[in-house]
């Protein structure tokens, strides 16, 4: 399983479902896993349970590259790229969006209550209130959910939060605004090999230089002479 995940990483394949498909259709993957066909849930669970071990193996790979003189560690280049999260931007909430929805829901609740009272006064009308009561309950439930989101925003002091993937951020790119992660990569100059990478929950690179450089230095075991962004 470890071979499958690392080999997939080397081809930019990070999706558990795509790795599962590769084990069925890609000859190099089929050979690597000896014809086994792991389910995508098994792949995802293995990656989740052994996350730190996988990180350590990747760090050891960088140190092996240093021994083989493939990585010098003298000059490092740092950059970040936006990768879409597995969540819709529609599920990203801000204080303003919550306020607008709460106002809209309150108006709908008032309308439903007024309608229920009007029907009650019309004795000759036999229409059931079951539908209206259900709509009222649904809106009350939605209101409570949004109020909980507002509370979370206040407690975490975040400008926005995605209810499907709370760790992703709202980021603007060439193809519009999406729920995304900011993938930070540190590359060695000699052969362009990546020595360190991390997906962060920030929509810009302004505060990443020091942290990413420190992390890369820990991986290669020394500080670079030159670091470029």
pLDDT tens per residue, range 155-197? 877 778 887 788 788 777 777 778 888 888 899 988 888 888 8
Which two tokens mark 105? 């829901």
Per-residue burial over 86-122, b if 16 or more Cβ lie within 10 Å, else e, is ebebeebbbeeebeebbeebeebbeebeeeeeeeeee
Task: Please state whether beta strands 194-200 and 160-162 pair in parallel, antiparallel, or not at all (unpaired).
Answer: unpaired
3 state SS of 16: helix
* Contacts with 169 (C-beta within 8 Å, 6 or more apart), sequence order: 160, 179, 180, 181, 182, 201, 202, 203
pLDDT, tens only, 96-106: 888 888 888 88
User: What are the pLDDT digits (tens) for 110-153?
Assistant: 777 677 667 666 655 555 545 556 666 777 787 888 888 888 88
60: number of CA atoms within 13 Å, CB side?
7
User: How many CB atoms neighbour CB 141 within 10 A?
Assistant: 10
Cα distance between residue 219 and residue 64, in whole Å: 11
Cα Rg for the chain, rounded, in angstroms? 26
Interatomic CA distance for residues 137 and 134, integer angstroms: 5
Q: By mean pLDDT, which of 44-48, 81-85, 96-100 is the weakest?
A: 81-85
User: Taking the domains of the chain in order of start, what are their residue ranges?
Assistant: 72-87+165-229, 89-162
- To which H or E segment does residue 219 belong? helix 209-220
Q: What's the mean pLDDT in 47-64?
A: 87
Q: Using CA of residue 113, residue 115, residue 121, residue 127, what is the dihedral sign?
A: negative
The pTM (predicted TM-score) of the whole model is 0.60
Least Cα distance to 2 among 49, 60, 46 occurs for 46
């Amino acid at each position: 399983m470890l071979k499958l995940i690392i080999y997939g990483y080397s081809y930019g394949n990070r999706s558990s479902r795509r790795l599962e498909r590769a084990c069925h259709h890609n000859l190099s993957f089929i050979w690597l896993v000896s014809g086994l066909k792991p389910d995508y849930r098994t792949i995802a669970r293995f990656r989740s349970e052994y996350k730190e071990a996988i990180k350590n193996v990747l760090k050891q790979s960088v140190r092996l590259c240093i021994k083989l003189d493939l990585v010098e560690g003298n000059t490092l280049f740092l950059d970040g790229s936006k990768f879409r999260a597995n969540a819709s931007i529609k599920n990203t909430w801000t204080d303003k969006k919550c306020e607008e929805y709460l106002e809209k829901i309150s108006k709908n609740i008032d309308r439903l209550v007024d309608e229920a009272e009007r029907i009650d006064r019309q004795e000759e009308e036999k229409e059931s209130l079951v539908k209206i009561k259900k709509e009222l309950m649904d809106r009350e439930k939605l209101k409570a959910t949004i109020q909980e989101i507002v509370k979370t925003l206040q407690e975490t002091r975040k400008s926005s939060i995605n209810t499907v993937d709370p760790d992703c951020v709202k980021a603007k790119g060439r193809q519009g605004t999406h729920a995304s992660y900011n993938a930070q990569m540190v590359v060695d100059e000699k052969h362009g090999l990546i020595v360190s990478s991390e997906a962060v929950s920030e929509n810009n690179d302004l505060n990443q230089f020091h942290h990413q450089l420190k992390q890369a230095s820990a991986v290669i075991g020394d500080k670079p002479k030159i670091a470029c962004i």
